[in-house]
Amino acid sequence: MPETTKMTKDITFHVRRYDPMKDKEPYMQSFQVPVTPGMVVLDGLHHIKENLDPTLALRYSCRMGVCGSCGMLLNGTPTLACNTQILDIATTDLTVAPLPNFHIIKDLVPDLMPMLEKHRAIHPYIHREKPEELNDTTGEHYQTPEQLEHYLQFTYCIKCGCCMAGCPTLATDSEYLGPQPLTQAYRYNADTRDGGRAARNEVTGDTHGAFRCHYAGECSRVCPKGVDPAKAVQLLKRQLVFDYLHLAQKQTPCELLHGPAKGEKMPNIPTAPARTAGV
């Protein structure tokens, strides 16, 4: 078997450190990290924690860009440490800092709770007139693939906070809802199964709601999942204006799907998957 050798290159990691028990303000600390092609920033931080300084605090979980735990400011751009190759963004030096616009708990660990509280405030779930349809459902809801496309893009949000870190409005207005919650508000408003648009408008149309966004576009530029929050927020603003002027088309939430009770199946049609609701 041929022996493969990988070129190792030393990269200086400049890591922003902060220990609430000792430090008044964050400071920068440098570490030399041997980097081979394929290493992601999270690997480099693990190297520091395991070999150079075990006190370094960072948050991570899945290591594959799904959980959204390892959002950091890498060379001035908010992104995920687990899916950013070191050699793609650094030749000699790499600056690693916690996400801005959040409080720092320790080192690279931001406090995401304010974002999650705002997320909760916009009713991030399907509203139905009859709550039993959700709690004890008897069937699926009608929704066409075209209707699904109206909101599918915004369901990929992993709540990493990168969009919130990039938002310049949040930098000066901590009460502003921010791109993540507003995107999720549009995601549920655009869902034909939902009937909670009026309740969400109360929150998103408020002083610190959607109209505080002035399209800096940074949220969409830095989103590691391609969710495009800036687009969702602009579409949400249109909804709010149309609702305010009573120009929006009246929409009633789609009904429960009830399969055919009788009838014969056409030949050569495969059996449908087993029902998941109302069984």
Partner 1 sequence: MADLKRYDNRLGIWGWIGGGRWGIDRYAYALHRITGLGILSYFLMHIIVTSLRAMGIYLWVEGQFFHKPLFRIGEFFVFAAFAFHAFNGIRLFMVEMGFAVGRPIEPVYPYQTSLNVQRPLFIAMMALAAIFFAAGGWEFLQYMAK
- Kindly list the residues in this chain that would bind partner 1 in the complex (CB under 8 A): 18, 20-21, 25-26, 73, 75-78, 98-105, 110-111, 149-154, 156, 166, 168, 170-172, 174, 190, 213-218, 220-221, 223, 225-228, 230-232, 234-235, 237-238, 241
Cβ proximity to partner 1: between 138 and 215 the closer is: 215
Smallest distance, Å, CB 105 to partner 1? 6
CB 237 within 8 A of CB 118: no
Cβ proximity to partner 1: between 43 and 111 the closer is: 111
How crowded is the C-beta side of 181, counted as CA atoms within 13 Å?
A: 26
Here the tokens at position 15 are 């890591």
Cβ proximity to partner 1: between 134 and 148 the closer is: 148
Smallest distance, Å, CB 257 to partner 1? 23
Cβ proximity to partner 1: between 244 and 278 the closer is: 244
Smallest distance, Å, CB 107 to partner 1? 10
Which long-range contacts does 250-256 make (Cβ < 8 Å, 24+ apart)?
A: 251/192, 252/195, 253/127, 253/128, 253/129, 253/192, 253/193, 253/194, 253/195, 254/141, 254/142, 254/143, 254/147, 254/192, 254/193, 255/141, 255/142, 256/133, 256/138, 256/139, 256/140, 256/141, 256/142
Cβ proximity to partner 1: between 53 and 149 the closer is: 149
Smallest distance, Å, CB 263 to partner 1? 34
Closest by Cα among 67, 159, 155, 61 to 118: 159
Smallest distance, Å, CB 240 to partner 1? 10
